[in-house]
C-alpha cells in the first residue's frame, strides 16, 4: 500500500444522530476511510468490498501494527494463497464480499470474524440487538453486503429510537477530489440509514471482527 495516502479518519464524527433521544452505539477507536480511487487504482464498479475491507483493516492496524493495511493486489494474493480463489483471480476485477473479508482478516491479523446472515432486509431488525452488543463489547467496525443490494458498506454504529432502528453507513463508493468529513456527510456518503429502508429482496451478510478496541 502506498504511503501518505492522506486518507480521512473517523469520517462519522460530527454526524448528528437521527433523533435527539434513543440509544446510540458507535465504533470505538480510529479508522481510515478507504474509497474508490483513494490509492490511484481505478476500482470503480467493482472495488467497494476491497475498500470496506481496507477500512476495517485500518482499524485493526491501529491495535496490531505488525501488519499494514493491504492494497487490492495483496488482498487478491492472500485469497489465492489460502486457496479460496484460483490464480486467475489475481489482477481481476472480481468482487469480494463479507466472507472473503473475514478470511483476509483472519489470515493477515489472526483475528477471527463472526458472520451474521439474514435472508432478507426485513429480518435486519432482529439482529440489531447483536450489533448493539458488538459495539458495546468489541467496538470494531462492521462490513455489510448482500446479493440484490450488492453494494458493500461499512457499518460504524446503531441508533434506536421508539420503534425505529438505524445503521450508520460509511459508503466506499465516493471518488473525486479531496473533501472533508462534513462534505462527505452532506453529500450522503456517510449517513444514518433506517433498517426498514434496506431491500427486502436482498439477503445480507455482516462481518464482525472479534477484536476488542483498546479505547
In terms of Cα–Cα distance, which of 72, 198, 57, 67 is closest to 140? Answer: 57
Active-site annotation holder among 39, 71, 149, 173: 173
CA-to-CA distance for 24 and 209, rounded, in angstroms?
Answer: 20
Report yes or no: 96 and 75 within 8 Å, Cβ to Cβ: yes
48 catalytic per annotation: yes
- Give one DSSP letter per residue of 44-62, joined into a string: TTT-HHHHHHHHHHHHHHH
Query: Is 166 in contact with 191 (CB distance < 8 Å)?
Result: no
In the numeric block, which cell numbers belong to residue 65? 501494527
Catalytic entry in 43, 113, 134, 171: 171
User: By C-alpha distance, which of 104, 26, 45, 103 is closest to 71?
Assistant: 104
Query: Which residue matches cell numbers 463479507?
Result: 98
**Cα distances (Å, whole numbers) of residue 11 to 31, 124, 160:** 9, 24, 21
Q: Which of 38, 48, 57, 113 is catalytic?
A: 48
Active site residue 173: yes
Give the count of alpha carbons within 13 A of 189, CB side only.
21
Active site positions, annotated: 48, 171, 173
Amino acid at each position: 500500500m502506498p504511503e501518505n495516502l492522506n486518507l480521512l479518519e473517523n469520517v462519522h464524527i460530527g454526524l448528528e444522530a437521527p433523533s435527539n433521544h434513543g440509544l446510540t452505539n458507535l465504533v470505538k477507536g480510529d479508522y481510515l476511510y478507504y474509497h474508490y480511487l483513494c490509492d490511484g487504482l481505478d476500482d470503480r464498479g467493482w472495488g467497494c468490498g476491497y475498500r470496506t475491507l481496507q477500512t476495517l483493516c485500518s482499524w485493526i492496524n491501529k491495535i496490531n501494527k505488525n501488519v499494514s493495511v493491504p492494497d487490492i493486489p495483496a488482498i487478491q494474493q492472500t485469497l489465492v494463497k489460502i486457496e479460496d480463489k484460483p490464480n486467475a483471480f489475481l489482477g481481476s476485477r472480481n468482487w469480494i464480499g463479507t466472507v472473503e473479508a473475514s478470511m483476509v482478516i483472519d489470515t493477515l491479523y489472526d483475528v477471527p470474524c463472526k458472520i451474521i446472515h439474514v435472508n432478507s432486509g426485513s429480518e435486519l431488525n432482529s439482529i440489531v440487538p447483536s450489533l448493539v452488543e458488538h459495539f458495546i463489547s468489541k467496538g470494531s467496525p462492521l462490513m455489510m453486503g448482500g446479493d440484490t443490494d450488492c453494494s458493500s458498506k461499512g457499518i460504524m454504529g446503531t441508533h434506536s429510537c421508539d420503534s425505529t432502528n438505524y445503521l450508520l453507513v460509511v459508503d466506499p463508493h465516493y471518488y473525486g477530489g479531496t473533501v472533508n468529513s462534513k462534505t462527505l456527510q452532506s453529500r450522503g456518503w456517510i449517513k444514518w440509514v433506517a433498517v426498514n429502508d434496506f431491500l427486502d429482496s436482498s439477503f445480507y451478510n455482516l462481518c464482525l471482527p472479534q477484536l476488542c478496541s483498546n479505547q
